A and B are shown apart, each in its own frame.
Chain A
Amino acid sequence: MPKNQFISPDEARKPGFVEFQPIPVNQYQKTVKEERENFSDDELKAIYHDMALIREFETMLNLIKTKGEYNGTAYNHPGPAHLSIGQESAAVGMAWTLTVDDFIFGSHRSHGEILAKGMSAIHQLSDDELTKIMDSFFDGLVVNIVKKDFNGTTKELARRFLVYGTLAEIFARETGFNKGLGGSMHAFFTPFGVYPNNAIVGGSGDIAVGAALYKKVNRKPGLVVANIGDASMACGPVWEGITFAAMDQFKHLWEGDMKGGLPVIINIMNNQYGMGGQTCGETMGYGIAARIGAGVNAEQMHAERVDGYNPLAVIDAYKRKRQVIEEKNGPVLLDVLTYRYSGHSPSDASSYRTKEEVEAWEAQDCIASFGKQLIDAGVAMQADLDSIWSDIKSLIYDMFLMSINDEISPVMKNPEIIADMMFSNGSVDSFSDAKPDVLQPLEENFRVKKIANKERFAFDSEGKPFSKMKQYQYRDALFEAIMDRFYKDASLVAYGEENRDWGGAFAVYGGMTEALPYHRLFNSPISEASIIGTAIGYAMCGGRVIPEIMYCDFLGRCGDEVFNQLPKWQAMSGNVLKIPVVVRVSVGSKYGAQHSQDWTSLVAQIPGIKVVFPVTPYDAKGLMNTALQGTDPVVFFESQRIYDIGEQFHKEGVPTGYYEIPFGEPDVKKEGKDITFLTIGHTLYPALEAAKILEEKYGMSAEVIDARGLVPFNYEKVIASVKKTGKIIVASDACTRGSFLNDMAATINSLCFDSLDAPVAVLGSRNWITPAYELEQAFFAQPSWFLDMIHERIQPLNGYISGENFTDNEMIRRAKHGI
């Protein structure tokens, strides 16, 4: 909370009323005739063309899904096709005025938006620009297919390119815009400003806001449109994205040219149904979706409902709203009314609406009525329109034939390359050419100065520990790595709850507030979905970002963002996108069941995220440097038990300069020969204590290996150790059931079977709620539990009496009871 804003009780307690302004509904009612001076005849015909193109494109898909053929050519498309037949005017109106600098994000029903925005770009770009884009995309792979035996203009070629690239993508062809890895619900083409559509309802609601944040912070031209459905307004992440976009700080606290609202338009493609649920009258309560804007901020998000059946009304709205955005008064909410005749999907029997209703909307069909207006206004003759249609039909049929031709458009021949797309594995110093915005030279920062006086190794020459205050701590290591990157990469931003002023809940960011302007380090709303969702959008557009989740337990609050969005986009884009997001996640303790869980296993289970968990200052700095140099999404786990711990292993001390520790390399923290302990996270320290007892009392020497991370993971060192010792315990603070430890145990059992003197022992926490701090010793793996495990399952210790019960019968009993 900033100190320069005073919350006055006198002001806050005054009586009064919240006042609202009327929200315009379908105020634009003009026809083609009335707008002729604002549009050329060619433009008006192009609007008609673009709508007709979408209509025919989706009609073709509908026929394939429902009849298995198009123009007599049979084809089976087993994948999804969520069509928007009837909504073409809304899509074209939305896209018409947008430039390639303006980005759109979509939903599962976005074929129309892709084509509309693509055509808009083609209309606006010069032949040279178009050629350059097409030739450079996948080294001309797509354009070379549509160029063959084609003699038309560059713009006509670009149209073939757009239709073919989209269709081949829908049909999962390697020649699609995303190598067939995105498909119908995720197709996009960034050179035309078409950013990812999203199969999760409302998925773009926060990601698009992050894209707008990127544009603002990095001073990039253009605005961002989130095309989401009317039903998605019920989704938490959408609301969180809107809340994030409307934060007061943009207008009140951000300084200089950064002052002002986010350039984002939440564009509700309001077809009035969420699958089969009627949003007006059944599943929502807003009546008119534009009403929502009034609840968000004083500007009411400049919300209005626009008649999306009239492309000119939507174009008009976008012209006006661009003004609002350029005046830094975003965000904007548009409720674009429309209607789809097609079902939610081809399996939809439309049982939730009457034939009369569909027919009534079809009677006012947006394309037919606009065509009639063109004729009425003398812009075109019926023959002109007919020729547009016949041209489109032959184009669509041609592109259809090409995209289903297995020779021209093969399905990925070697799906193994998907493996290469899971991570981009890049090494990038900075994602920006700009000079980083900072408030002071790094060396003048008080925290930097304070750290300079600290002992970078925990012990003195006689092995005695320095005082805690004197030790260079884990939190200092993170600070150093992150600050270094802040001063290297102008695109880097960090945010989360209490990141500024407070310095982060665990004081990692202490001193950063003084060094960095608001737009690089700020407090987010307490809404994890928006924290991660916006970070994804930020990264998609080309920026580096560190969102923070204060407690690991809050990961559930951004489940979709962490599980469905963050890990998927690099591969789903066919490696077009990079997602350099380093999510800092703090694993708690002492605070009971909802603040003390180690959920590393959940994250490690999802392909596409790198997962690290350093527990020493040396590792923390080195791994954070690696994370921030990379181009992949990283979930960076930290442990709240040890933010103040000094470096106990790296005798030379934590280097003051920059260094990287490669991901996936476990580290032998203590050598031994009789048994191996492989730990994830904080459990390293209890394991070391256990090793000490084992050595002193039982003459067994334990080798202790710190995994340092979960994904990727190189087993070679572990294998070498187990070959030596023949025995291993894998341990962490995560609940045992479903823990990543079991994955490691299975792998080690497989790889080291012949060397093992006992099965790999898994030592995790109990499958309970995390109890209060006072009871934690009954829940988390204790040093004595290592000995119990050895005695019971590996090699009985002379005269030892077990505390914990690790017998076969107990394992069976616990499993039987689900505990």
Chain B
Amino acid sequence: MPKQGQSVESCIVNELKKKQGDTVKKGDILFSYETDKASFEEESPVDGVVLACFFNEGDEVPVLENVMIIGEPGEDISALASPESPKTAQVETPKPTVETLPTISSQAHSRDAARHVFTQPTATGETKISPRAKNLATSQALDTTAISGTGPQGRIIERDVQAALQNRPKLTPLARKMVQEEDVQPQNSGTGLAGQAKSTDLAASQNAVYSVDYEDKKISNMRKLIAKSMHASLQNSAQLTHHLGADARRILELRKQAKVALDAGKISTNITLNDMVCSAVIKALKQFPNVNTHFLGDTIRYFNKVHLGLAVDTERGLMVPVIRNADDLSIIGLANQFKEVAAACRKGNVNPEILVAEAGTFTVSNLGNYGVEMFTPVVNLPQSAILGVNTIIPRPKDLGNGVYAFVPYIGLSLTYDHRSLDGGEATRFLKQIAIEIENFESFL
């Protein structure tokens, strides 16, 4: 298992594309795997036959551990075999209904924050139901798998079944018999007397209200990380958001010019509004060093350079790759790098090192493309603040001398950790971004 980045200790095998006995050629994909934030594919380094495979799909494998052995048939592989096979760092994640809680090996308690080990069961274990509740459910042909019990230790008791029955139309005797015998459930309210569900109201289970219309899926490692860090952010910091608009006429004009220049072949990079906003942010950050910080509890870490994170929406979930030393870059350089990392993120082979929150000093999240007018981005701890960029909408503006006009404004939403920054400074910083946007220097 390759080591993907300094802080990665283990990876999860997603898919084994070759199994024991398969013949492989150099360059064939052996297996795919993922770290906390990215997924990768491992190619076969040689031609040969898969002599052994020590892990199963879903196993968490410590890095540098042998996953497979490729060689010639009959070769002695005993020296290469994993001493304890399969040597997983953790047992499999639980299936939807498990009987025992997953036990976690001591390795799972590693101090490394980058490793997120799933410790809670997804299901509550065996469903407990009292005989009375069970009988009632059976007689009423009610599926109890969707009911969560309120009795001692989560036992489903009569009142839970009663409550579930309340949410389902009463059944005619014929309908009840059909429900008991076939996999059908009444749909919405019944058409019979007093809303009773008749046999004709029955259909295969799909109604969300009282039937099982969902499927439990294991969440990806990445989802787990996002869930954990977002939850931690809201739990552990004092964040609030200021909203402010900036006159966008200048950057819109520059954008128009850039497009013309690109079409004319004068520049090779498409400079977007986002690139310009980020550039403005970098400039503002240079003037507000208190914002370009990590809040670490007892201390605040001030950075000399700006390492700018950019939220990227991918199929696998939100990713925030970081452009290191962004303040050293021209807007063209910045734009190029953004495009590069965003593409890597979407492809799933980004360097995990630049994905961790600690790598960046400030983050920009741009939802303007989607028409979002205002939102409250969540601070990417330990960073002190994050800027949400909104869509551009025309707003009336006093142009002086009693002249009012509709002017395009770009919305800026700054969420900051009040532990780290006070409102005045945050506001001044936000205002500074607006000033930088409104007075953006031509790059052409």
Contact = CB atoms under 8 A, between A and B. Distances in A.
Interface of A: 726, 753-758, 792-796, 808
Interface string B137-150: 00000000000001
A726 B156 CA distance: 13
A795 B157 contact: yes
A795 B150 CA distance: 8
Contacts of B135: 754-755
A794 B135 CA distance: 17
B152 A757 contact: no
B219 to A, nearest CB: 30
A757 B157 CA distance: 6
Contact of A793 (B150, B152, B158): B152
A796 B151 CA distance: 6
B159 A795 contact: yes
B152 A756 contact: no
Given A726-B158, A795-B157, A795-B159, A757 B150 contact: no
Contacts of A792: 152
B317 interface: no
B404 to A, nearest CB: 58
A147 B238 CA distance: 109
A675 to B, nearest CB: 11
B100 interface: no
Nearest to B151: A795
Of the listed residues B130, B133, B135, B150, the one surrounded by the most CB atoms of chain A closer than 10 A to its CB is B130
Contacts of B158: 726, 757
Contacts of B152: 758, 792-796
B124 to A, nearest CB: 15
A370 B151 CA distance: 85
A723 to B, nearest CB: 9
Interface of B: 130-133, 135, 150-153, 155, 157-159
Nearest to A798: B150
Contacts of B151: 757-758, 794-796
Nearest to B133: A757
Contacts of B130: 726, 756-758
Q: Which has the most chain A C-beta neighbours within 10 Å: B133, B135, B152, B159? A: B152
A379 B133 CA distance: 91
Give the top 6 A-B pairs by smallest Cβ distance, nearest first.
A757-B132, A726-B132, A757-B130, A757-B158, A757-B157, A754-B131
A753 B158 CA distance: 14
B309 to A, nearest CB: 45
B150 A753 contact: no
Contact of B131 (A755, A793, A796): A755
Nearest to A759: B130
B248 to A, nearest CB: 54
B159 A753 contact: no
A792 B155 CA distance: 12
Contacts of B155: 758
8 contacts: A755-B132, A757-B157, A758-B130, A758-B155, A758-B157, A794-B151, A795-B159, A796-B150
Contacts of B131: 753-757
Given A726-B158, A795-B157, A756 B150 contact: no
Contacts of A796: 150-152
B161 to A, nearest CB: 9
Contacts of A726: 130, 132, 158
B387 to A, nearest CB: 44
A792 B157 CA distance: 13
Nearest to B155: A758
Contacts of A795: 150-152, 157, 159
A584 B304 CA distance: 95
A338 B396 CA distance: 132
Contacts of A758: 130, 151-152, 155, 157
A753 B133 CA distance: 11
A753 B150 CA distance: 20
Nearest to A722: B132
A754 B132 contact: yes
Candidate in A726, A757, A794, A795 with the most chain B CB atoms within 10 angstroms: A757
A667 B54 CA distance: 70
B57 to A, nearest CB: 38
Contacts of B133: 757
Given A726-B132, A757-B151, A758-B152, 4 more contacts: A726-B130, A757-B157, A795-B157, A796-B150
A726 B131 CA distance: 9
A792 B159 CA distance: 16
Nearest to A758: B130
A755 B152 CA distance: 17
A726 B158 CA distance: 8
A651 B84 CA distance: 80
Nearest to B157: A757
B132 A756 contact: yes
Contacts of A794: 151-152
A628 to B, nearest CB: 42
A757 B150 CA distance: 12
A792 B150 CA distance: 12
A754 B150 CA distance: 19
A409 B153 CA distance: 62
Contacts of B157: 757-758, 795
Contacts of A755: 131-132, 135
Greatest chain B CB density within 10 A among A726, A794, A796 is at: A726
A251 to B, nearest CB: 68
A793 B157 CA distance: 11
A618 B152 CA distance: 39
B138 to A, nearest CB: 10
A397 B159 CA distance: 76
Q: Name which of B151, B153, B155, B158 has the most chain A CB atoms within 10 A of its CB.
A: B158
Nearest to B159: A795
Contacts of B153: 808
Contacts of A793: 152
A796 B150 CA distance: 7
A758 B129 CA distance: 9
Contacts of A756: 130-132
Nearest to B153: A808
A796 B160 CA distance: 12
Nearest to A807: B152
A755 B159 CA distance: 13
A792 B132 CA distance: 18
Nearest to A723: B132
- Choose among B132, B150, B151 the residue with the greatest number of A CB atoms under 10 Å from its CB: B132
A796 B133 CA distance: 15
Nearest to A755: B132
A563 to B, nearest CB: 38
